[in-house]
Amino acid sequence: MVKDKIPEILLSGNAENMLRASALLWKTEDIFNLWTEAYAMYEHRQDIRCMAAYHLGYQYRNGKGVRLDKSKALEYFIHAAENVGIYQVYAMRIVGEMYRTGEGVEVNIPAAMHWLRQAAGHGNLAAQIELDELYAENTQLEISDDKQSISAHEEKYISSGSVLIFDNPIEHLAYILSESKNTVFFGGAGMSTESGLPDFRSADGLYNQATQFRMSPQQIVSHSYFMEHTREFYEFFRCHQLYPDAMPNAGHYALARLEKAGKLNAVITQNIDGLHQIAGSQNVYELHGSVHGNYCLSCGEKYGLDYVLEHTCVPLCRKCGGIVRPDIVLYGENLNFDVMGKALEAIQSADALLIGGTSLSVSPAADMIDHFKGKHLVVINQTATAADNRAELVMRTHVGETLSRVVEKIITSDSVAK
């Protein structure tokens, strides 16, 4: 569907649409082709060139959609770092890192220093940390004037230099929330585990468990399996993905309260359980759909979760007898273009982005974080995430409990102030 529109999108020269298309493509080969063409086609457009080069660098570096080639990766990252665009600073840091560690190139400390300094100069915290380490390892190097030592690397609390005035992360987060005019929350499975739902992707999560099914859960919760083995799909779906009795936890309620107080613009979630809405959140973008939405494949008639629960087998349409399916994104299916677009807009216009209960390992949703251009990036997750080194504040804690503590603090102190 998106794939058919690619030539059109490419010809339009609209960088933003290319990025969306890339996020919606399922096969890494397709993503590779899209950016290869864009890179060749737009020699004089810095923004597209930067974007394309960054993606190609990433794919060559990780062997995604193309054979792994570190020196090609470095070449592309250098192109990205030399062209003005939203990935330029990230590319600078990566080039610095590759020179520093000798990835795809001989170790070259002056080159590493040059690129890391460029990135740090643009406010990239990870680059600044790497620079600090480089200086520490190479004490003979002269410390330049622009270098300012930063960073408290405590196990649970990492904060950037400019805001070290806070004694603890809760206070820091409370400050960000009260200062920000446009805050967006981006959440994942960790948000629901505190409501007793299993995390599909964590180490002991559902997808690693042996089930009575002979196939892996990924294979079962896929488009092709649904179409060919609808009955088995529903057996699995009922046992492992429907939790009609699950209730929102303190974190869901905290976010709803925050929205009501005018301090939260949107919730973007990868979860399909609908718990945010049950807690009272209004502006929710469900990237992977929701088990509460169901529709007939033949006539489009809509049904709630109750209808599916009433049936013991495959739910059939009351009107036409067609198969009713859940409105969730199955493996092998694209995300909803509209929801994705609105979520991206929310991220792009936010000045604070809170990432909670997700390791950001699931593509393409996780790539959306790269669109954030605002001031405060906060990560609340028990394990490391791909966004940690860009974040102003990283908290290795339970997301629900943390949100509830911080919201309690702001809303109370606000009302006291009044």
- Per DSSP, the residues of 334-396 read PPPHHHHHHHHHHHHH-SEEEEES--S-STTGGGGGGG--SSEEEEE-SS--TTGGG-SEEE-
Give whichever of 19 and 296 is closer to Zn ion, judged by the CB atom: 296
How far is Cα 381 from Cα 390, in angstroms, rounded to an integer? 14
Question: What is the set of active-site residues?
Answer: 288
Range in contact with Zn ion (rule: CB under 5 A) among 15-23, 80-88, 122-130, 318-326: 318-326
Residue 351 near Zn ion by CB under 5 A: no
Give whichever of 223 and 319 is closer to Zn ion, judged by the CB atom: 319
Residue 322 near Zn ion by CB under 5 A: yes
CB of 123 to Zn ion, least distance (A): 54
CB of 338 to Zn ion, least distance (A): 23
Give whichever of 163 and 299 is closer to Zn ion, judged by the CB atom: 299
Give whichever of 122 and 319 is closer to Zn ion, judged by the CB atom: 319
Range in contact with Zn ion (rule: CB under 5 A) among 13-21, 192-200, 311-319, 344-352: 311-319
Residue 320 near Zn ion by CB under 5 A: yes
Give whichever of 233 and 303 is closer to Zn ion, judged by the CB atom: 303
Buried b (16+ CB within 10 A) or exposed e, 48-60: bbbbbbbbbbbbb
298 neighbors 317 (Cβ within 8 angstroms): yes
317 neighbors 6 (Cβ within 8 angstroms): no
Per CB under 5 A, the list member of 27, 223, 260, 319 interacting with Zn ion is 319
Question: Which residue type, as a one-letter code, is found at position 409?
Answer: K
Q: Give the number of residues in contact with Zn ion, rule: CB under 5 A.
A: 8
Name the residue among 2, 8, 28, 56 with its Cα closest to residue 364.
28
How far is Cα 164 from Cα 175, in angstroms, rounded to an integer? 12
Give residue 38's Cα distance to chain centre.
24
Residue 299 near Zn ion by CB under 5 A: yes
How far is Cα 39 from Cα 242, in angstroms, rounded to an integer? 44
Give whichever of 239 and 299 is closer to Zn ion, judged by the CB atom: 299
Sort 40 into a burial class: Cβ within 10 Å, 0-12 / 13-18 / 19+.
Answer: exposed
Per CB under 5 A, the list member of 37, 69, 301, 408 interacting with Zn ion is 301
Per CB under 5 A, the list member of 17, 46, 283, 298 interacting with Zn ion is 298
CB of 17 to Zn ion, least distance (A): 34
Range in contact with Zn ion (rule: CB under 5 A) among 111-119, 235-243, 319-327, 329-337: 319-327
111 neighbors 88 (Cβ within 8 angstroms): no
Q: Which residue has the tokens 């339970």?
A: 398
Kindly report the backbone phi and psi dihedral angles of residue 379, in degrees, each rounded to the nearest multiple of 5, phi listed first. -120, 125
Judged by CB under 5 A, the chain residues 8 through 47 that form the site for Zn ion are none
CB of 331 to Zn ion, least distance (A): 25
Give whichever of 319 and 373 is closer to Zn ion, judged by the CB atom: 319
Structure tokens at 301: 């008639």
Residue 324 near Zn ion by CB under 5 A: no
CB of 318 to Zn ion, least distance (A): 8
Range in contact with Zn ion (rule: CB under 5 A) among 41-49, 141-149, 275-283, 301-309: 301-309
Name the residue among 174, 155, 177 with its Cα closest to residue 166.
174
List of residues 6+ apart from 277 with CB closer than 8 A = 284, 292
Question: Which residue type, as a one-letter code, is found at position 144?
Answer: S
CB of 317 to Zn ion, least distance (A): 3
Residue 296 near Zn ion by CB under 5 A: yes
Range in contact with Zn ion (rule: CB under 5 A) among 148-156, 267-275, 309-317, 360-368: 309-317
DSSP state of 110: H
Q: What residue ranges bind Zn ion (CB under 5 A)?
A: 296, 298-299, 301, 317, 319-320, 322
